[in-house]
Structure 1
Amino acid sequence: MRPGGVQIDIANLLLIGAVTYGSHRSSHQTELAFPVISVYALSANTCHITPWKRQYMRSGKGDLLRAALERQNTSGLVPYGEMHFDQGFICKYYGRHPSTFTWRDELELSLEIGRGLIKPFWYGSIFTTPEGDKVDTPAKVETMIVRGGLDMQGVPAAEAHEMRLAIQACQRAGVIAVAQLGGTLCYAWRTTGFERFMTALYTERPFAELILERTVERQRRCAETLADLGFEAVMFSDDIAGNMGLFISPRLFRELIIPGYRRILEPLIQAGTRIIFHSDGIITPILDDLIACGIAAYHSIEYGLNDLRTIIAHYGDRLSLWGNVNCDVIHAGPVEEIPHLVQECLEAAAGFPGYVMSTDNSIFEDIPVEHFRLYHQALARYGVAVEPL
């Protein structure tokens, strides 16, 4: 519990991560009267209730993100949409043991700092043999399983239930529940090994295509579940490039990867889900192809490799753009550069109604909490729509 929090023992009370003012009614219609509260514990005998400010009655941060996703944010406020916080960082921030982490911890953090989303759910199909080895020969394909023992059919029912609870909580709290869905290229080479897959593309094409086919099959099933659950947005992630550009040629990418993307994303796009594509590196040679697949946004516009002004000029009429703050500096310093990096992005995106403030990767576990606080202070100082810490 954070300093100043209030601990209440309530037997079997079901609280759904809601933020309210004045009172909260449980599933048993028991009324709790507190001045302003943020509830984040669920289905537990001990519920921690942390007082926050009046604006947490219902966060408007999700509305800002929605407007930016549609490239219609004319509020004059830049939304904060940090796409990923490592579970380890969140637990470190609150001084909690990693084994206790749930999506409720992430919702609590988002409400505290003024982030307009949570993204605790991730599905990417990395396959292994039953023994845990790389699937590096055609003979191993028929026995391969999803790493970690996840069902080849898609999202397990118990996890889908948790997602429903998270979506409901986010709707009450006024933020967006986002799921992360893996793509195909990076997951294929993580299944076989990078060199093995890249070589197979040219020397054993049927083997490479079979790995891609199986990856698409499972990701499509996961996408169908996410669409049925009603996620507003999905981060579709595939690290397809590095500092020198795409890992495979644009021609090969269009031939082998784009059709799979279309199949995976189809149920989500039909459901009206907004697709936020993530990759590190330089992806501009195939960004038009990704737009044709139906993506609504591009994250993370890696700093030093992509010029934000240029990306906005070329793609801002078709894409919401997220990121470009150098997370390496937030991690390792010099911390004096952090305000400059924030200001640089805001100046580059000035007047663009589709920009969302974020790092160019994530807030990962090794980032010192104090460095994150300095980053957050810079966001507040330069007018990003965050909550003061």
Structure 2
Amino acid sequence: MKPMSSRERFLTALKKQQPDRVPWFESYVHRGLADRIVGRKTDLPPGWRTPPDLYKILCLDTITYNFRPPFYAIMEKNGDVEQLKEGLLKTRDDLKALKEFLPDPENPDFYRGAEELLSFARQNGLAAIAGIRVGLSNTYNSMGYENFSYALYDDPGFIEESMELIGEWCIKVIERVNDLGFDAAYISEDIAFKWGPMFSPEHFRKYMLPHMKKVVDHIAIPRIYHTDGNPLPMLKDLVEELNICAIANLEHGAVDIFQVKEEWGDKLCLIGNMDLHYTLTMGTPEETVLEAKEKLEKVGKGGGYIISSSNGLTEYCKAENILALNGAILRYGVYFE
């Protein structure tokens, strides 16, 4: 088979077809990890999710730009990672402040970094991914989990109004993204914990999914859906209502990717599910290669598979394990048919 560019490889797998090798996708690579892999301080332009210097060393096939709205919440810094301390969307009276808090989606400066990333992607043959949200996680994080959970039973209309407001902002951004030239949209909306859904599938279908669909219907490029945990009880809803072409990142330990391949491999491209809890973070290079080899050969069989970590490459991943994963992809991910 003729060697493909990273973009061709990624888009072929996304169509559930077989490329020249299994593509490698990471929604982000932490700059601290990138520094250790490269051996010096790397540059990370605003909005870029992976330092560009890393592409000289790793065979990553994609690069992502962050268009996601910020949480309306008090955030705390833990090193260079922001963590949510307290949601500020307490009542309906806070909706006006939330609307004013969101960045102006009509401001050309909001998209300037994306144009630079697209130029880098095209020069290097990479698939350019738009990281977006469609209103759900911004709602429950801005409200706070406890307030959101009470509202789900006492005042679900408040949740729907919040999703509608944030969704309108997302639609304006998506309409611009459609015209910029990105290859796929990465919809990052967590709906599950390791042991199962964050809320009942019935509540999800009644109060959340219709608002998500309203936003997603504006996406004119291939749709990848990301959630942590085990979303399988709602996977059919995501496929049928949101018309996704891929599910990511199929968290190791929460989802049996081999079973998902058997049940969904003819309907969805699968993205994942290298273990972040042990293998990439605490394991050895040898263990990394063994896990990668099994997934490349079994899940990658016939195409429609994109290897990835279970979320993104965090700072606490071992650099030597990421390099081992890189080598395993180049050795065991190649299709010879």
What TM-score does the superposition give when structure 1 sets the normalisation length?
Answer: 0.75
1:255 aligns to what? 206
Give the Cα–Cα distance (whole angstroms) in 2 for the partners of residues 238 and 285 of structure 1: 15
Residue-by-residue CA offset, 1:44-76 (whole Å, 9 max, x unaligned)? xxxxxxxxxxxxxx971221111001112253x
2:249 aligns to what? 300
Change beyond 3 A, Cα 1:228–1:105: same
Would the aligned equivalents of 1:308 and 1:348 in 2 still touch at CA under 8 Å? no
Q: In the alignment, which of 311, 316, 337 is matched to residue 366 of structure 1?
A: 316
How far did residue 202 of structure 1 move? 0.4
Residue-by-residue CA offset, 1:308-340 (whole Å, 9 max, x unaligned)? 222112212221111111122211225542122
Query: Among the aligned pairs, what percent are the same residue?
Result: 25
Which SS does the other structure have where 2:28 is aligned? coil
Confirm or deny that 1:231 pairs with 2:182. Answer: yes
Give the Cα–Cα distance (whole angstroms) in 1 for the partners of residues 29 and 107 of structure 2: 23
Residue-by-residue CA offset, 1:144-188 (whole Å, 9 max, x unaligned)? 257xx541x426412312212321331232111111002333221
1:170 aligns to what? 121
Paired residues in the alignment total: 318
Q: In the alignment, which of 42, 52, 61 is matched to residue 6 of structure 2?
A: 61
Q: In the alignment, which of 227, 243, 253 is matched to residue 194 of structure 2?
A: 243
Q: Work out which of the two has the higher radius of gyration on C-alpha atoms and give 1 or 2.
A: 1
Which SS does the other structure have where 1:178 is aligned? strand
Q: In the alignment, which of 112, 116, 134 is matched to residue 61 of structure 2?
A: 116
Change beyond 3 A, Cα 1:384–1:359: farther
Q: In the alignment, which of 223, 226, 241 is matched to residue 278 of structure 1?
A: 226
Would the aligned equivalents of 1:59 and 1:175 in 2 still touch at CA under 8 Å? no
5+ unaligned residues in a row in structure 2: which ranges?
A: 75-85
The one-letter code matched in structure 2 to 1:319 is L
Q: In the alignment, which of 77, 98, 103 is matched to residue 144 of structure 1?
A: 98
Q: In the alignment, which of 179, 183, 205 is matched to residue 134 of structure 2?
A: 183
Change beyond 3 A, Cα 1:283–1:136: same
Give the Cα–Cα distance (whole angstroms) in 2 for the partners of residues 334 and 282 of structure 1: 26
Aligned-residue Cα RMSD (Å) equals: 2.5
1:86 aligns to what? 30
Give the Cα–Cα distance (whole angstroms) in 1 for the partners of residues 93 and 235 of structure 2: 35
Would the aligned equivalents of 1:282 and 1:305 in 2 still touch at CA under 8 Å? yes
Confirm or deny that 1:321 pairs with 2:270. Answer: yes
Which deviates further from its counterpart, 159-168 or 313-322? Answer: 159-168
Would the aligned equivalents of 2:252 and 2:275 in 1 still touch at CA under 8 Å? yes
Confirm or deny that 1:135 pairs with 2:94. Answer: no
The one-letter code matched in structure 1 to 2:296 is L
Confirm or deny that 1:73 pairs with 2:21. Answer: no
1:216 aligns to what? 167
Give the Cα–Cα distance (whole angstroms) in 2 for the partners of residues 155 and 167 of structure 1: 19
How far did residue 89 of structure 1 move? 2.7
How far did residue 125 of structure 1 move? 4.3
Which SS does the other structure have where 2:132 is aligned? strand
User: 4+ residue runs of structure 1 moved beyond 4 angstroms?
Assistant: 95-98
Residue-by-residue CA offset, 1:264-291 (whole Å, 9 max, x unaligned)? 122223xxx1111100111111112211
1:101 aligns to what? 44
Give the Cα–Cα distance (whole angstroms) in 1 for the partners of residues 87 and 23 of structure 2: 43
Would the aligned equivalents of 1:125 and 1:215 in 2 still touch at CA under 8 Å? no
Residue-by-residue CA offset, 1:86-125 (whole Å, 9 max, x unaligned)? 2343344335557x42249733323531211101324134
1:309 aligns to what? 258
Would the aligned equivalents of 1:184 and 1:215 in 2 still touch at CA under 8 Å? yes
Which SS does the other structure have where 1:123 is aligned? coil
Give the Cα–Cα distance (whole angstroms) in 2 for the partners of residues 81 and 105 of structure 1: 11
Which deviates further from its counterpart, 346-355 or 170-179? Answer: 346-355
Which SS does the other structure have where 1:358 is aligned? strand
The one-letter code matched in structure 2 to 1:251 is E
Would the aligned equivalents of 2:63 and 2:129 in 1 still touch at CA under 8 Å? yes
Residue-by-residue CA offset, 1:167-220 (whole Å, 9 max, x unaligned)? 133123211111100233322111011011011110122222222222212211
Change beyond 3 A, Cα 1:275–1:332: same
> Which structure carries more relative contact order (alpha carbon 8 Å, separation 6+)?
2
What TM-score does the superposition give when structure 2 sets the normalisation length?
Answer: 0.85
Which SS does the other structure have where 1:356 is aligned? strand
Give the Cα–Cα distance (whole angstroms) in 1 for the partners of residues 55 and 106 of structure 2: 25
Confirm or deny that 1:355 pairs with 2:309. Answer: no
Which deviates further from its counterpart, 219-228 or 376-385? Answer: 376-385
5+ unaligned residues in a row in structure 1: which ranges?
A: 1-57
